[in-house]
Amino acid sequence: MPLAHGVGAQHDLPLSPFYAYAGAFAALFVSFLSLGLLWSASRFRGDRAGRPLPAAVQRLADAPATRTALRLLGAAAGLALVLHLLLGPDDPDRNPAPGAVYVLLWVGLVPASLLLGPVWRLLNPLRTLLALLPARRRPPRPLPPRLGIRPAAAGLLLFTWLELVAPDNTAAPVLLAALAVHTAVQLLGAARHGPDWFARADPFEVYSSLLARLSPLGRRADGRLVLRSPFNGLDATPPAPGLVATVCVLLGSTAYDGFSDNPRWITTLQTSSLGRTPTATLGLLAAVALVAVLYGLCAGALRLLNRELTTPLTSFAHSLVPIALGYLVAHYFSLFVTERPRTVIMAVGTDNAPSPAPPMGPGGLATLQVAAIVTGHVLGVVAAHDRSVRLFPPARAVAGQLPLFALMIAYTLGGIGLLIA
C-alpha cells in the first residue's frame, strides 16, 4: 500500500506547463484588475447576511432528536473503527479502518462541511464520550483567549505527519496508538476546560468548521439558519490566534504531499544519512514553514503600507481558506473518488474489495486539479480585495493589496508546479 495520501497514489499529469501557468496568471490578473476597477466598497456582511430558511427546517435541524441521532451515528462510527482496528486483519487491503481515517474522515470532511456546515461538531464521538463521563464537581476553567485555536493547528500538523511521513501508517497498532493519544488529550482537555475545548483544540472540529465557512448553509449572528454567499461566511471567520498557523499547516502539508512524489525527493529519502522518517519530517516542517514565512513577509509589507493596520497577520488570513480548499481538492479528489467506495464495501463486510479504478483520464484529472487551485486563488483574491477596501483608505485600497496579490501568484505557481512536475 503506497504511503502517498495515506491510502492510494498520485498519477503523473500530462499537462503543458506553459498553458497551465499562463492560464493561472491570466485568471488572477484579470480578477485583480476587474476588482480594482469595479469593486470600490466592501460588499460582504459576514454573519449579518443570509436568507433565512423556513422555520420548519430550522426546527428540524435544531431538534434534540436530530442532534441525538447525529451523536449516535458518530459514536457508532467511532466504535466500528476501534473494533476493526482491534479485531480486523492487519492488512489495509482487507481492513476498512485505514480508509476510514485517511479517506472517509480526513478527505470526506471536505465535501461534507462544504455542503452541510461544521458537521463534525455534531458527529464528534469524543463529545458523546465526554457526556457519558462523570460530571466534574468544579466548574470548568475558561480557556485563555490568547490560546485561540493553536492546539488544533498543532493537532493538524501531527495528523498530517501521521498521514504523510509516519512509517507503517496504515498498520493497526500505529492507528490504535494515534487514536489513543488523540482521545486521551482531547478528553483530558475537555474534562478540565469543558466542551468548548473541542471547538478550539480538536483538529477535526476546527478543520471542519474552517471549511464550513465556504458552505452556503450558515447561521447569522442571531442564530437563524440561513442560505448565504460563501463569501459572507468567509468574511465572518473569527480572527482567532492560531488561524494563520492552521491554514499554513493545511497549505504546507498539501504542498509537501505533492512534492513527496517527486523522484528527486524519493531518492533523497532513500539515501539520507538521517534516515527516511527524520528526513521526511524535516521536509514536511520545511514546507509548512515556507508557506508561513511567505505569508509573514506579506503581512509585514501590508503593515508598512498602512501603519494603522495593527493585525496584518489575522486581517487577511481568511482569504487563505479557499486557497487551502483548492489545494485539498486538487490533491485528494482522485483518492476520495476511488478509495471511498472500496472502504465502504469493506466496512459492510465484503472481503477482498475490488481495486479502485481512476475516476477520469489523466488529462481530465490534470485539468480538474489545476482548475481547483486557480479557482481557490481567485476566490482568495476576491475575499482579500473586499477586506482591503474596508481596511485601507480608498486611495490605497488597490495598492495596499499588492503584497497579497504577489503572494497568491507565488502560491498558485508553486501549487501548479507541484502538480505537473
Average pLDDT over residues 221-247: 93
Q: What percent of the chain has pLDDT over 90?
A: 52
pLDDT bucket at 190, cuts 50 / 70 / 90? very high
In this structure, of 93-97, 171-175, 393-397, the range with the lowest mean pLDDT score is 393-397
CA 148 remoteness from chain centre: 17
| Pair 399, 314: CB distance under 8 Å | no
Count of Cβ atoms closer than 10 Å to residue 318 Cβ: 25
- Point out which residues pair with 52 in neighbouring strands: 226
Is the pLDDT at 253 greater than 80? The verdict is yes
Residues 371-391, mean pLDDT to the nearest whole number? 90
Give the closest residue to 245 by CA, choosing from 201, 282, 192: 201
Burial of 16: CB neighbours in 10 Å, binned 0-12, 13-18, 19+ = exposed
Confidence of residue 38 (pLDDT cuts 50, 70, 90): confident
Q: CB-based contacts of 284: which residues, under 8 Å, 6+ apart?
A: 160, 161, 164, 165, 252, 253, 256
Q: At what angle do helices 243-259 and 402-420 cross, to 10 degrees?
A: 30
User: CA 267 to CA 6: how far, in whole Å?
Assistant: 20
352 sits in the region (left: phi over 0; alpha: psi -120 to 50; else beta) called left
Fill in the DSSP letter of residue 218.
E
- Would the pLDDT of 4 be above 80? no
User: What mean pLDDT do residues 144-151 have?
Assistant: 92
On the question of pLDDT at 209 being above 90, the answer is yes
CA 289 from chain centre, in angstroms, equals 17
Mean of per-residue pLDDT scores for the chain: 87
Q: Distance between CA atoms of 308 and 223, rounded to whole angstroms?
A: 33
Distance (Å, whole) CA 376 – CA 141: 39
pLDDT tens track for 266-317: 899 889 899 999 999 999 999 999 999 999 999 888 888 787 778 888 889 9
